[in-house]
Amino acid sequence: MADFQPTEHQHLRYNPLKDEWILVSPHRCLRPWSGQTEEPPDDPPPDPNNPLRAGSVRANGKRNPDYTSTYVFPNDFPALLQGIPGPPAPDHPLFQAAPAEGTCRVMCFHPDSAMTIPLMSVEEILAVIDEWVAQLKELGRRFKWVQIFENKGAIMGCSNPHPHCQIWASGFLPNEPRIKDRCQREYYKKHGTNMLADYVQEELKKKERIVIENSEWVALVPYWAAWPYETMVLPKNGRTQRMSDLSAEQKRGLAEIMKHLNTKYDNLFQCSFPYSMGWHGAPTGPCTSSGDSPHWLLHALYLPPLLRSATVRKFMVGYEMLAQPQRDLTPEQAAARLRGCDHLVHYKNRKNAKQ
């Protein structure tokens, strides 16, 4: 029998953050690259009536101010509300329900609907990070979990192309962070060290899955990545538990990493790369304090669906929904392709320079 080749033979990889396994089937990539590779249609011009633009009127009749940087407002259609009655106590353990209080906000990154993170300046992205920190500090005093997330692109369910994210704060710990909290806590009890801090150091030694790094941050394709070009952004210091812990140097380094990583994403398939991204850090709430969760390390996740081109995506269906996540190209192959993309000049700027 031939020796195992990770780029040719299917195998399982363990995700210690979520206590789950990923099926890697790289032999599926050995067939000719038959997916669509034509350029996507040109981006439509910005809608002058976009409800998220500065000065626009939203669906509820409220007018946005003429903001010039970031702008945060209560979500007009929130999934979480405060001051509502909770469900009664269950009469059987198989029919459990619990209160779900919280609040939802929308945060605009920029007044221009044509802007995206890779097209914004480092200073403009830094303003986004500063507002994230402010929101986490405010909401984190009252709520156990503050989820900052961005859905970019229509195929990720984004109904508005304006650059923005959402912030959902809840009095309960959602499933993903609850599992991560347990797994990281168990690792810390067993080894006496922080799981992701150890992981970052190993990845910096191996260099196989790193996409881009600077003095403060590293962006890499996780060893256990499920989505084709999934990346994780982690601080190098190994001890930052929450976004509110970020130093001025870390904030600027993060702004640079976000701009460069997203430029690589867009340049990969010459399109505005769709994704869902979000931040995971130590839980918050009135009983928490700085340094209270040594098992946690702050990190961002980018979960993009594109697989072969700007018009061919990976669907998490069938086997993924009923059995476990599965991917084709290996994380190392994905990292190499992203590493090879320019991070300094966005493809739109190259096109504009030729015209």
C-alpha span between 255 and 126 (Å, rounded): 5
Give pLDDT < 50 ranges for the chain.
33-38, 41
162 tagged catalytic: no
The predicted structure's pLDDT at residue 188: 98
C-alpha span between 52 and 162 (Å, rounded): 6
Question: What does 272-309 look like in DSSP terms, one character per residue?
Answer: ---EEEEEE-S--STT--TT--TT---EEEEE--EEEE
3-state secondary structure 174-202: CHHHHHHHHHHHHHHHHHCCCHHHHHHHH
C-alpha span between 109 and 151 (Å, rounded): 13
C-alpha span between 139 and 147 (Å, rounded): 10
C-alpha span between 145 and 161 (Å, rounded): 27
Q: Is 148 exposed, middle or buried (0-12, 13-18, 19+ CB in 10 A)?
A: buried
Q: Residue 58 — φ and ψ, nearest 5°?
A: -85, 175
- Which of 164, 280, 343, 346 is catalytic? The answer is 164
The predicted structure's pLDDT at residue 5: 84
C-alpha span between 144 and 282 (Å, rounded): 10
The predicted structure's pLDDT at residue 34: 47
C-alpha span between 344 and 158 (Å, rounded): 27
pTM: 0.94
The predicted structure's pLDDT at residue 115: 94
The predicted structure's pLDDT at residue 8: 82
Ramachandran bin of 133, using left for φ above 0, alpha for ψ from -120 to 50, beta for the remaining angles = alpha
User: Six-digit token pair at 214?
Assistant: 């600077």
The predicted structure's pLDDT at residue 324: 95
